Structure 1
């Protein structure tokens, strides 16, 4: 029996051609992001944010600072995927709903905050690495959720990060990690491209 989750993953390919007349509702966009935010983050930091660029005006602002890539204009939405620098001081706030849900006892919160402080405080490279890591996990979840819903997606790193930061009002602790276009496809997209053999990339220790 084919596993639908695995089939979704192994059949995914970056889309090049989108139906420019197609749209996604606000509710559909929110659901994609909701699924994306179930991805893992260090210490439950949830250090990410998503800007859904979907109006013609917003697309016109983004496209010139993103190499004029056609997907930005043609796809229903392009997410600006934002990672936030890891900040251990946010942990009590992030864990409060976990405690309220009865998943974690309140006494454990300082036990999480203390090692996170040691890991990230005054460590700008680690803070940035965690921002990119978290945002990438969230992006991957959206990519596969979109595929499962019959939508194409295109992750893109071709953009002027400083211009995106300025044009879309990102905060000082925020990093524009990538763009992700999502929407109904039109014909002409390639299937999943062959990958390197597992024997070439797997080592047993």
Structure 2
């Protein structure tokens, strides 16, 4: 069985070649992030942030600390996908719109905040793990949104994380998880590469 969503997923590939003359408007960038941030987050923390590197000056700043990868300058935009360390104290703020929308009763807020505190408060590694998980969920959603718009994308981990942290003003509780280039492709990109057989990666119990 197939549909447009499945076709989008199956046809996605990491783009190598972009049309450097093609651009995305700020409204398109906002919409990409808006849809991408409907991805799952633990306790509705939404502990992510996206820095859209799209001007010539910003690209020039990112390029040398991102291994001079051509996608930085050729793609319309490269997002610095930032995960924020999980912090249970923000749960009431994050859930307030959910309560206001009538989705969750107010008395349930503490029922989420208390276990979130127990899960993260005294566990630095869990806080960081959640930052990486959340940012990755968001980036993955944006990859498929971009594909559905006919755009290419390239997730990249080749960068100096300390320099990105410094040059783009990340806070102490933020982790630059990956770079994500998005833009119009030009000819020469490969199709999706074959994957390992399901039998090699699936255990049915």
What do residues 25-55 of structure 1 show as CA deviations (whole Å, max 9, x unaligned)? Answer: 0000000000111000000000000000000
2: CA distance, partners of 1:95 / 1:146? 28
Instruction: Report the secondary structure of 2:78's partner residue.
Output: strand
1: CA distance, partners of 2:38 / 2:89? 21
What do residues 87-119 of structure 1 show as CA deviations (whole Å, max 9, x unaligned)? Answer: 000000000000000000000000000000000
Alignment of 1:116-131 (within 5 A): 116-131=116-131
1: CA distance, partners of 2:75 / 2:154? 9
1:50 aligns with 2:47: no
Count of residue pairs the alignment pairs up: 205
1: CA distance, partners of 2:9 / 2:31? 19
Aligned partner of 1:132 in structure 2 is 132
1:15 aligns with 2:15: yes
Alignment of 1:93-132 (within 5 A): 93-132=93-132
Aligned partner of 2:33 in structure 1 is 33
For residue 2 of structure 1, report the CA deviation from its aligned partner.
3.4
Aligned partner of 1:6 in structure 2 is 6
Aligned partner of 1:145 in structure 2 is 145
TM-score in terms of structure 1 length? 0.99
For residue 122 of structure 1, report the CA deviation from its aligned partner.
1.7
TM-score in terms of structure 2 length? 0.99
Instruction: Report the secondary structure of 1:110's partner residue.
Output: helix
Instruction: Report the secondary structure of 1:83's partner residue.
Output: strand
Alignment of 1:55-66 (within 5 A): 55-66=55-66
2: CA distance, partners of 1:163 / 1:2? 44
Aligned partner of 1:195 in structure 2 is 195
2: CA distance, partners of 1:2 / 1:162? 43
Runs of 5+ unmatched residues, structure 2: none
What do residues 108-166 of structure 1 show as CA deviations (whole Å, max 9, x unaligned)? Answer: 00000000000000210000000000000000000000000000000000000000000
Instruction: Report the secondary structure of 1:21's partner residue.
Output: coil
Instruction: Report the secondary structure of 2:52's partner residue.
Output: strand
Alignment of 1:171-190 (within 5 A): 171-190=171-190
2: CA distance, partners of 1:187 / 1:11? 15
Moved over 4 A (4+): none
Question: Alpha carbon RMSD of aligned pairs, Å?
Answer: 0.6
